[in-house]
Amino acid sequence: MTSTSPEPAGAGAGSALEALRAADPVLRRLIDAIGPLDHEQRRRGRPRDPYGALLRSIVGQQLSTKAARSIYTRLTELFGGRAPAPQDLLEADPEALRAAGLSRAKVAYLRSLAEHVLAGELELERLAELPDEEVSAQLTAVKGLGQWTADMFLIFHLGRPDVLPVGDLGIRRAVERAYALERPPTPDDLERIAEPWRPHRSLACLYLWESLDNAPA
């Protein structure tokens, strides 16, 4: 992953589709069956600021969309109806945060996010300018943010065009089904299968998720 630019819209997106169709007959069948997908449409409704996106990501880990929304609302109510700033999180009573529905671990993760932002170790204002690998390195240095979260952030928040989330269960299941495999591919297998998709692996993943009707929330 090295790109720093979002997937281009319009003609660029069409060119990406044609490149994928030409590169892989399995993807060609998926693309033809599903039709055009709008990457930007998938990104609408998600927090536009990186801090808000990461805050929601931590709150929503291992929860349904409905439960995550409810807990996030209760969290913001502790801070006058707004998202807590990093300093707010560090000054907040951990038990009050837990009373909003956060686990002890998630309280620690939110504090870690706040600490990295305030220390300048997570350069929120520069993430859009950094290569994929550097974005991932900064995000995964925060306790509770793993590579899957970094990959979702790159695809859906930054709009990076060539991300392959090898740890995503939905992608593995979709590849297993589409390629008639006996079992879900390993990360190495997935990297090999996806090699022809470069430099449009993010778009390929959108089609794979769509084939299961299982895009990440």
Full set of structural domains in the chain with CATH: 11-44+162-212 (1.10.1670.40), 50-147 (1.10.340.30)
Whose tokens are 């929860």? That residue is 63
Please give the single-letter amino acid code of residue 9: A
Residues of the chain above pLDDT 70, percent: 88
Mean pLDDT of 25-50: 78
Q: What are phi and psi of 7, to 5 degrees?
A: -60, 125
The tokens describing 119, both together, are 């220390």
Mean pLDDT of 103-125: 96
Q: Integer distance in angstroms from the first to the last C-alpha of the chain?
A: 22
pLDDT in tens, 129-186: 999 999 999 999 999 999 999 999 999 999 999 999 999 999 999 999 999 999 999 9
pLDDT in tens, 31-42: 999 998 865 555
Residues 30, 211: contact at Cβ < 8 Å? Answer: yes
The tokens describing 62, both together, are 């291992």
